[in-house]
């Protein structure tokens, strides 16, 4: 009973304006991700393949990713795929909780991460794989093929790490 009461108090303490701002950010990230993926999938539908040479460092190719970010943990077995998908749902719920818990820059970074993650989660459920298409390379070294959602996830995580390193260090120094 106590958890239910504290959960209700937590939900009541979230300002409506904050929820609207977060929803707008999530919607923009999701929209950008969907438009980019639909554009690439439309090329495949019309041409049968996506293999666009942009320059020596950047190409557009289509790779279907059944794993998590950058193709890690890719499995062919549906039971493992479904388990990973459910794990992603749980992580998304935790990220949403953290975004609502904080009232600073961290909350926006969690929302950026969540926006990208929801874009990829949609694809995992709808297509049973995530379309990745951005190929960065130098000479014969190719980075993992990724998509717009991965950019938001990675940027959010990197910025969250930097915030933790620099702002926590500043807070610790102020306490001394």
Phi and psi of 131, rounded to 5°? -75, 115
Active site residue 56: no
Exactly one of 33, 123, 132, 135 is catalytic; name it: 132
- Report the C-alpha gap between 118 and 1 in whole angstroms: 31
Active site residue 76: no
Closest CA to 14 of 113, 117, 90, 107: 107
Q: Both tokens of residue 132?
A: 């990745």
Residues involved in catalysis: 132, 150
């Amino acid at each position: 009973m106590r958890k239910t009461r504290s959960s209700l108090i937590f939900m009541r303490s979230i300002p409506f304006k904050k929820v609207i701002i977060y929803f707008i950010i999530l919607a923009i990230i999701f929209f950008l991700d969907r438009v980019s993926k639909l554009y690439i999938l439309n090329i495949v539908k019309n041409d049968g393949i996506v293999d666009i040479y942009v320059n020596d460092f950047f190409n557009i190719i289509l790779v279907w990713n059944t794993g998590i970010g950058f193709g890690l943990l890719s499995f062919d077995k549906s039971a493992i795929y479904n388990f990973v998908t459910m794990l992603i749902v749980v992580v998304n719920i935790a990220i949403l909780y953290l975004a609502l818990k904080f009232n600073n820059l961290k909350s926006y970074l969690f929302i950026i991460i969540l926006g990208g993650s929801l874009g990829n989660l949609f694809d995992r459920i709808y297509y049973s794989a995530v379309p990745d298409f951005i190929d960065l390379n130098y000479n014969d070294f190719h980075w993992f093929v990724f998509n717009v959602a991965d950019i938001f996830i990675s940027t959010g995580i990197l910025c969250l790490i930097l915030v933790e390193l620099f702002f926590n260090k500043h807070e610790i120094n102020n306490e001394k």
